[in-house]
Amino acid sequence: MTDIATGWRRLATRMAAGVAGLVVAAGMAGQAAAAEVTLRLHHFFPPTSAVHSKYFTDWKQRVESQSGGRIEVKIYPAMQLGGTPPSLFDQARTGQADIIWTVVGYTPDRFPEAEVFDLPFLPRSAEITSQAAHEFAMKHLTSRFEGVKVIAAHTHSPGLIHTRDREVRTPEDMKGLKLRGPSRLINSFIEALGAEPVGMPVPQTAEALSRGVIDGTVLPMEGLDALRLQELVHRHMVFAGENALYTTMMLVAMNQAKYDGLPADLKKVIDDNAGIAEARAIGRVMDQADAPVVASIEKSTTNRIIALTPEETDRFRAVGAEVEKAWAERMTARGIDGPALIEEAKALVAKYAARP
């Protein structure tokens, strides 16, 4: 009987532990169910990308913590909610997604003022230029962003030319190349340099390279890692000087009706995690993500960084100046003061470059 009693006691202990576990699990489920609002954040980069893993996951944790668990953020990378990257802005505007991250230039003519940040040799680091882009956007683009609340307008880290195997040191070296470009203005720059631009959202780049549709791409270094492109492009052109070859404006935005429907205290949580500080934070994450990619390329036996001299860079700058002039004229024809926007964007970049 003693052995049986002991067995019963052991069984009762295991059952009690199991019940306790069920109570804990139920409590945790209750906590999860306590969220009053669920925000679906949809974007086009893979979950391994720096912006997803280092910025959006942090943003999610901050919002959930500061709301006391009343807001739950669910992140859907790599277009998991459907559609294409150019459709993301409208997904936020119509409420198909609650929050999106996209490239503004994926929809040409819709945000013409934003193209100023696509101009050649305008940007510095992503951290610097993102702050300039956000201030600029909140002054000039709010009417075009109708239907969404801007979390942050920003830019990516310095864009470079990457080719499968061709070393590019002069505009003449660009001739015959087919290069993927992200926006109309950057594509016009690629064309002015003598290459053939192929417009496509960045997630399609790997397949296009693998199939021989393109010979290379323009992209920041961190994008190479996010998309696993180091095995497909082996020459990486870096230009001299403080200003990068190009960047492009990007946007994190929330459905306006979803925001308007929040109680005041939860609106404050969103507000506290939106604005120029967020633009700077995204830019910093993208800048920091460049460094390990550069280190990996420098150690590689198949990949090479091609550092252009100031004299070689000046020839690309001259082409960029013509692209800038043509853009200003096109904006003027539309009733937009292109030259003033250029000067303002450059002044904003200089302003934030001078800050610690």
Q: Is 209 helix (H, G, I), strand (E, B) or coil?
A: helix
* Distance separating alpha carbons of residues 63 and 265, to the nearest angstrom: 12
CA dihedral 345, 170, 199, 331 (to 10 degrees): 30
- pLDDT band at residue 257 under the 50/70/90 scheme: very high
Average pLDDT (163-188) is 96
State pTM to two decimals.
0.90
Residue 106 CA, chain-centre distance (Å), reads 12
* Mean pLDDT, the chain, integer: 92
CB 230 within 8 A of CB 303: yes
- pLDDT band at residue 108 under the 50/70/90 scheme: confident
| Per-residue pLDDT reduced to its tens digit, 210-228 | 999 999 999 999 999 999 9
Element of type H or E holding 161: strand 159-163
DSSP 262: S
* Distance separating alpha carbons of residues 195 and 237, to the nearest angstrom: 15
Calculate helix-pair angle for 184-192, 310-333, nearest 10 degrees. 130
Element of type H or E holding 179: strand 178-181
What single-letter amino acid sits at 137? A
- The whole-number pLDDT of residue 5 equals 36
* Distance separating alpha carbons of residues 181 and 198, to the nearest angstrom: 6
- pLDDT band at residue 34 under the 50/70/90 scheme: confident
Query: Which CATH homologous superfamily contains domain 159-246+289-353?
Result: Bacterial extracellular solute-binding protein, family 7 (3.40.190.170)
